[in-house]
Amino acid sequence: MEINPRSKSSIERIVDEAGNKLNNPQDIASTFNQYFCNIGPELAKTITPPTSATSNFSHSCASTFSLVDTSVEEVICGIDYLKIGKALKVGDIPTKFLKVAKTALAPFLSVVFNKCMVKGVYPDSLKVA
């Protein structure tokens, strides 16, 4: 059977789980809808629950970590890594300006970054990789 990528395929008839032959588009759509609405809960019934919700976490952890404030020097270093000439979105600060003004901007940027870490709130513009 050849499939023409330019033609639109349609399902003309199916056989449901009870063995009924369906050819009405509304019945076919309803059967697909019912199947896909129920498949998740049906599969979930087959998963064996763990014996204990906390059994994997019962041991204590001797290691910890902490975050240190971002320093002015780290911000300057980060600005130094930026490449001039990369395409900017509307509203972006030109890289060349950041590099020229880095010593004046870095103290303020480090305060903003550190406040974001402490508060756990980040502007959307800082969430872009």
Distance CA 112, CA 36 (A): 47
pLDDT category at 53 given cuts 50, 70, 90 is low
User: What are the distances in angstroms from CA 25 to CA 10, 18, 21, 30?
Assistant: 10, 18, 12, 8
- Model pTM above 0.85: no
Report pLDDT digits (tens) over 84-118. Answer: 877 667 677 888 899 999 999 999 999 999 999 89
